[in-house]
Amino acid sequence: MYLAPDKYHKYGFSGAGAYAIALPCKAVDALLLDEPHHTTFVNYLRIGLKWGGFPGLATEHRLVPEEMDFLMKDLILF
């Protein structure tokens, strides 16, 4: 099942494919396919929250600390 376009397609470029979960899946937390962190869906959500809703910042580092603080304000990590 396709969940979201990859990081390239989100910027309007042809990419490697969409992030997806293989179905059927008996796991409570399914592995995401074609996602650069090679992680599960719930952990991907955690990574996204850690980076203020933008998991790509984990590798891009384009924001200064003050901007990251602004993104993280009032987010509750789980």
The range of the structural domain enclosing residue 32 comes to: 2-72
Is residue 32 assigned to a domain? Answer: yes
Q: What is the pLDDT of residue 40?
A: 92
pTM score of the predicted model: 0.70
- pLDDT range class, residue 71, cuts 50, 70, 90: confident
What domain count does the chain have? 1
**Other Cβ atoms within 10 Å of 55 Cβ, number:** 21
Is residue 23 assigned to a domain? Answer: yes
Q: What is the pLDDT of residue 10?
A: 61
Is residue 77 assigned to a domain? Answer: no
**Other Cβ atoms within 10 Å of 78 Cβ, number:** 7
Is residue 78 assigned to a domain? Answer: no
Q: How far is it, in rounded angstroms, from Cα 77 to Cα 70?
A: 15
The answer to whether residues 69 and 63 touch, using CB atoms and an 8 Å cutoff, is no
Q: How far is it, in rounded angstroms, from Cα 4 to Cα 1?
A: 10
